[in-house]
């Protein structure tokens, strides 16, 4: 559960008059306006254009797609009009981002700057008193009510060796300001945190003291906030759980998450993927085991059933655990025997081994709940029954390919590849977004530095179900011709299975050469983990011998920590793949070069991409041209965009994939570069041609 179902008090006062957002926006952003005159911020006509378009879309409750190149200052261009509109109309602005780094930037830099700007606007200082907060899932918060019950019932819920962990959480709770899990170091054990977090029907205004419970206090701040920051994953999970309709208790409620809200989606290029991921099933063997052991853990002989009944509850859980282990082991040995990810193509082909054991648990939980009077303990039993029924329904849907518009698959994960997860996703996410996002009678603004394909936003609009939206793009104000050099290696063999070893040898040679030539930091972007590890292993001793810091994705540090370390080192070499193509922000000489080892084509082996390609072919289309190529160009633009983050940044883009020169589609990648001029190099002439900034 995520935390909107009982939030019916999230009601907004309906607007009674048009807001002054458009007029004030002009005053703030015009040349010589408040941004420039009072705070000495640089006038940017592109920013003024975006702010005007955003203000108009918010005032008229219209969708807007707006590509704003790096350096436009898009955060202020949507925050300032949004704050004015939210305060004036007594509405809430939802700002959703994909990365933690942008969330932190909004919280610590951009919103405080907005407060300064609005304080300097004569006659409009009242807007500077806006309130903001971050929306997190319920499971992130400690619930003091559940904590007190866990302490009281610890003999039935926890073994002695885990009681110390509960005491540690209790001691931390007395000092914590937020009650947020990520503030507790080291992180709490998952099985103990499950007993005390707010993701439970026990954590409601009915059961909790609103002044003591961390989640209830957070909800109070949320109700008063004009600006609510959230991440895309939680946004779409909440939308999928009912969003504004559930919050208002009405099917036709206007708004996306809360009644009468309006939404800004920053880093919107990630929306199709994140939305697709959250509009499908995600049931893992690990998650199901944790849900069952919450009821009764055979190892510790503790759990919810210990509080209420010894028989037959524990044995029913043991039966379900054994069935679960056999079910997922069978999947691992059959469907996933050859590949870590495999598509389920035929419904009813796998025996529903969990159906009987889960049904028995469902009936037993219902009987136990019926014996209790209304109250917290009965609510918790009914909640666990709902959870078991949801697991039943999800597994049944997966086994029978329940939704004709979805793709179903299984995947192995974890260090030992022992976790098996049942997955599904809509074949086309656009209808879902059209209904649950753009069909909510409120303004939805999508912005990013990379939305266009071949100079058009039409492809992106179709992909997210926003075909009728106003679409605008403004270029970056940065001087790329002066500050960026582009080199393309023309003698790197194109990737093939037969020449894989040769291509890796050449890539390694080029990466080593380019790193040696550039004194600042280098980000090396890969499309394959195995290629990344092979090149890093080959160059590791040499780089460390030069006194360079070698950083690599997938080791001990997170992406945020790796970026911080790169900024600190000043001349580090960071090897990354997948998520490192987007969202990494390292300004200055600490990132002086981005090396693109391969064009970022996603192989059509993933079940969802495979099914989408099949659907395009069946419709007479070209999957490469309509799906693979556009996605690759967007990712390429994001990767290249890591280099120049401020007006004074300088650096080199080095492309080690000769297909940009040899293939007809290569021109689309070259046109996507912010710098139109490039230099061809080879191993024969690179010493002469390759010049560091």
pLDDT at residue 72, rounded to an integer: 94
CB atoms within 10 A of CB 532: 22
Angle in degrees, 0-180, between the axes of helices 111-119 and 74-89, rounded to the nearest 10: 60
Contact 196, 170 (CB under 8 A): no
Q: Is the pLDDT of residue 233 over 70?
A: yes
pLDDT at residue 1, rounded to an integer: 35
pLDDT at residue 310, rounded to an integer: 65
Show Cβ contacts of residue 98 under 8 Å, excluding neighbours closer than 6 positions: 231, 232, 266, 267, 270, 274, 582, 583
Domains 21-131+225-277+429-474 and 280-424 share a fold: no
Show Cβ contacts of residue 139 under 8 Å, excluding neighbours closer than 6 positions: 181, 197, 198, 199
| Confidence band for 500, pLDDT divided at 50, 70 and 90 | low
Distances (CA, A) of 389 to 287, 292, 356, 386, 420: 14, 12, 12, 5, 20
Architecture in CATH of 280-424: Up-down Bundle (1.20)
pLDDT at residue 244, rounded to an integer: 65
Across 480-489, average pLDDT:
96
Tokens of 273: 């993927």
pLDDT at residue 162, rounded to an integer: 84
Could you say which DSSP state residue 470 is in? E
State the sign of the Cα–Cα–Cα–Cα dihedral 378, 383, 384, 390: positive
pLDDT at residue 130, rounded to an integer: 96
Per-residue model confidence as pLDDT tens digits over 120-151: 888 888 999 999 999 999 999 999 999 998 89
Place of tokens 């907060």: 133
* Sheet with 444-448, edge to edge strand ranges: 132-134, 227-231, 93-97, 262-265, 444-448, 64-68, 470-474
pLDDT at residue 439, rounded to an integer: 92
Written as one string, the DSSP assignment of 478-523 is: S-HHHHEEEEEES-SPPP-STTHHHHHHHHHHHHHHHHHH--S-EE
* pTM as predicted: 0.90
Contact 264, 116 (CB under 8 A): no
By three-state DSSP, how is residue 238 classified? Answer: helix
Q: Is the pLDDT of residue 10 over 60?
A: no
What values do phi and psi take at 623, rounded to 5? -60, -40
**Taking the CA of residue 319 as centre, how many other CA atoms within 13 Å lie in the half-sphere pointing to its CB?**
15
Q: Is the pLDDT of residue 88 over 70?
A: yes
Angle in degrees, 0-180, between the axes of helices 500-517 and 529-545, rounded to the nearest 10: 40
Map out the domains of the chain as residue ranges: 21-131+225-277+429-474, 139-205, 280-424, 480-689
Across 281-289, average pLDDT:
96
Per-residue model confidence as pLDDT tens digits over 297-322: 998 888 888 877 667 999 999 999 99
Helix, strand counts (H, E) of the chain: 31, 18
| Helix, strand and coil in the chain, % to nearest 5 | 50, 15, 35
Instruction: Report the DSSP beta bridge partners of residue 515.
Output: none
Whole-number Å distance between alpha carbons of 358 and 316: 8
Contact 404, 355 (CB under 8 A): no
Q: Is the pLDDT of residue 35 over 70?
A: yes
Whole-number Å distance between alpha carbons of 74 and 68: 7
pLDDT at residue 62, rounded to an integer: 95
Contact 458, 271 (CB under 8 A): no
Q: Between residues 248 and 592, which one has the greater pLDDT?
A: 592
Burial class (CB within 10 angstroms; exposed 0-12, middle 13-18, buried 19+) of 339: middle
pLDDT at residue 19, rounded to an integer: 55
Identify the CA nearest to 412 among candidates 349, 344, 335: 335
Q: Is the pLDDT of residue 478 over 90?
A: yes
Whole-number Å distance between alpha carbons of 536 and 532: 6
Fold classification of 21-131+225-277+429-474 is Rossmann fold (3.40.50)
Vertex 671: Cα angle to 667 and 672 (nearest 5): 120
Q: Is the pLDDT of residue 9 over 50?
A: no
Show Cβ contacts of residue 28 under 8 Å, excluding neighbours closer than 6 positions: 34, 35, 51, 80, 117, 121
CB atoms within 10 A of CB 429: 23
Distances (CA, A) of 624 to 385, 613, 627: 46, 8, 6
Whole-number Å distance between alpha carbons of 538 and 523: 17
Across 78-94, average pLDDT:
96
Per-residue model confidence as pLDDT tens digits over 592-650: 999 999 999 988 789 999 999 999 999 999 999 999 999 999 999 999 999 999 999 99
Contact 487, 653 (CB under 8 A): yes
Q: Is the pLDDT of residue 6 over 70?
A: no
pLDDT at residue 251, rounded to an integer: 62
Place of tokens 């580090």: 572
Show Cβ contacts of residue 7 under 8 Å, excluding neighbours closer than 6 positions: 219, 246, 247, 258
pLDDT at residue 3, rounded to an integer: 42
Place of tokens 């040898």: 505
Could you say which DSSP state residue 411 is in? E
Tell me the Ramachandran region of residue 678: left when phi exceeds 0, alpha when psi lies from -120 to 50, beta otherwise. Answer: beta
Per-residue model confidence as pLDDT tens digits over 324-355: 999 999 999 999 999 999 999 999 889 999 99
pLDDT at residue 118, rounded to an integer: 93
Q: Between residues 59 and 496, which one has the greater pLDDT?
A: 59
Q: Is the pLDDT of residue 499 over 70?
A: no
Written as one string, the DSSP assignment of 522-538 is: EEEEES-HHHHHHHHHH
Tokens of 437: 């996002």
Whole-number Å distance between alpha carbons of 206 and 10: 16
pLDDT at residue 135, rounded to an integer: 93
Strands (E), 48-121: 64-68, 93-97
By three-state DSSP, how is residue 574 classified? Answer: strand
Whole-number average pLDDT of the chain: 90
Across 517-532, average pLDDT:
93
Place of tokens 């983990």: 529
End-to-end C-alpha distance for the chain, whole angstroms: 52
pLDDT at residue 125, rounded to an integer: 85
Q: Is the pLDDT of residue 682 over 60?
A: yes
Contact 543, 573 (CB under 8 A): yes
Tokens of 59: 């005032």
By three-state DSSP, how is residue 180 classified? Answer: strand
Whole-number Å distance between alpha carbons of 614 and 121: 56
Contact 272, 463 (CB under 8 A): yes
Instruction: Report the DSSP beta bridge partners of residue 425.
Output: 407
Contact 611, 427 (CB under 8 A): yes
By three-state DSSP, how is residue 217 classified? Answer: helix
Q: Is the pLDDT of residue 248 over 60?
A: no
pLDDT at residue 202, rounded to an integer: 82
Fold classification of 480-689 is Rossmann fold (3.40.50)
pLDDT at residue 42, rounded to an integer: 86
Whole-number Å distance between alpha carbons of 531 and 519: 24
Whole-number Å distance between alpha carbons of 471 and 461: 8
Per-residue model confidence as pLDDT tens digits over 168-191: 999 999 999 999 999 999 999 998
| Confidence band for 387, pLDDT divided at 50, 70 and 90 | very high
Show Cβ contacts of residue 688 under 8 Å, excluding neighbours closer than 6 positions: none
pLDDT at residue 243, rounded to an integer: 72
pLDDT at residue 254, rounded to an integer: 84
By three-state DSSP, how is residue 438 classified? Answer: coil
pLDDT at residue 17, rounded to an integer: 42
| Confidence band for 7, pLDDT divided at 50, 70 and 90 | very low
Q: Is the pLDDT of residue 18 over 50?
A: no
Burial class (CB within 10 angstroms; exposed 0-12, middle 13-18, buried 19+) of 346: exposed
Q: Give 623-656 as a 3 state SS string.
A: HHHHHHHHHHHHHHHHHHCCCCCCCCCCEEEEEC
| Confidence band for 454, pLDDT divided at 50, 70 and 90 | confident
Across 403-412, average pLDDT:
96
């Amino acid at each position: 559960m995520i935390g909107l179902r009982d939030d019916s008090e999230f009601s907004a006062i309906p607007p009674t008059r048009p807001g002054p957002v458009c007029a004030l926006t002009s005053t703030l952003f015009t040349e010589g306006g408040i941004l420039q005159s009072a705070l000495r911020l640089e006038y940017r006509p592109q920013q003024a254009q975006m702010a005007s378009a955003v203000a108009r879309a918010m005032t008229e409750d219209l969708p807007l797609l707006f590509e704003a190149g790096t350096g436009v200052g898009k955060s202020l261009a949507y925050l300032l009009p949004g704050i004015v509109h939210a305060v004036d109309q007594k509405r809430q602005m939802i700002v959703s981002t994909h990365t933690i780094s942008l969330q932190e930037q909004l919280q610590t830099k951009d919103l405080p700057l907005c407060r300064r700007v609005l304080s300097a606007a004569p006659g409009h200082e009242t807007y500077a008193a806006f309130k903001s907060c971050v929306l997190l899932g319920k499971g992130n918060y400690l619930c003091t009510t559940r904590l007190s019950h866990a302490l009281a019932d610890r003999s039935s819920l926890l073994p002695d060796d885990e009681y110390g962990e509960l005491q540690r959480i209790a001691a931390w709770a007395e000092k914590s300001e937020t009650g947020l899990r990520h503030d507790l170091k080291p992180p709490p054990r998952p099985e103990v945190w499950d007993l005390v977090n707010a993701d439970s029907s026990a954590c409601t205004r009915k059961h909790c003291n609103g002044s003591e419970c961390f989640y209830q206090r957070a909800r109070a701040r949320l109700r008063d906030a004009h600006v609510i920051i959230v991440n895309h994953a939680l946004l779409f999970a909440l939308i999928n759980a009912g969003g504004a309709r559930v919050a208002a208790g009405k099917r036709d409620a206007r708004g996306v998450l809360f009644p009468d809200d309006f939404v800004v989606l920053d880093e919107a290029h990630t929306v199709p993927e994140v939305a697709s991921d959250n509009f499908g099933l995600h049931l893992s063997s690990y998650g199901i085991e944790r849900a069952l052991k919450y009821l009764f853990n055979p190892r510790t002989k503790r759990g919810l059933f210990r509080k209420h009944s010894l028989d037959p509850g524990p044995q029913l859980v043991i039966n379900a655990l054994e069935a679960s282990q056999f079910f997922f082991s069978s999947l691992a040995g059959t469907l996933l025997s050859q590949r870590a990810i495999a598509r389920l193509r035929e419904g009813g082909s796998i025996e529903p081994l969990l159906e009987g054991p889960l049904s028995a648990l469902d009936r037993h939980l219902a009987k136990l709940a019926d014996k209790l009077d209304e109250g917290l303990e009965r609510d918790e039993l009914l909640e666990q029954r709902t959870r078991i029924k949801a697991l039943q329904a999800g597994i049944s849907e997966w086994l029978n390919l329940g939704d004709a518009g979805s793709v179903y698959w299984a995947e192995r994960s974890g260090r030992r590849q022992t976790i098996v997860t049942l997955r599904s996703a809509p074949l086309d996410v656009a209808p879902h977004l059209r209904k649950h996002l753009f069909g909510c009678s409120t303004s939805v603004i999508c912005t990013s530095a990379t939305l266009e394909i071949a100079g058009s936003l039409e492809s992106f609009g179709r992909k997210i179900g926003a075909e009728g939206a106003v679409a605008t793009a403004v270029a970056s104000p940065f001087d790329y011709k002066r500050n960026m050099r582009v080199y393309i290696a023309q003698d790197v063999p194109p990737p093939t299975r037969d020449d894989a070893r040769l291509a890796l040898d050449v890539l390694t040679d080029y990466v080593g050469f380019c790193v040696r030539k550039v004194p600042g930091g280098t980000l090396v972007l890969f499309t394959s983990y195995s290629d990344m590890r092979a090149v890093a292993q080959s160059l590791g001793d040499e780089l460390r011998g030069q006194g360079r810091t070698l950083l690599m994705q997938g080791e001990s540090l997170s992406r945020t920590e790796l970026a911080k370390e790169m900024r600190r080192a000043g001349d580090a070499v960071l090897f990354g793949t997948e998520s490192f193509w987007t969202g990494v922000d390292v300004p200055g000489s600490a990132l002086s070069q981005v090396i693109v080892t391969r064009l970022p084509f996603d192989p059509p082996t993933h079940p969802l991409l495979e099914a989408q390609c099949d659907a395009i072919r069946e419709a007479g289309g070209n999957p490469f041209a309509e799906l693979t190529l556009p996605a690759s160009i967007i990712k390429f633009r994001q990767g290249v965009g890591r280099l120049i983050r401020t007006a004074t940044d300088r650096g080199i883009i080095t492309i080690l994939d000769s297909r940009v020169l040899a293939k007809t589609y290569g021109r689309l990648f070259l046109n996507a570069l912010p710098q139109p001029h490039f230099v061809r190099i080879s191993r024969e002439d690179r010493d002469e041609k390759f010049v560091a900034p």
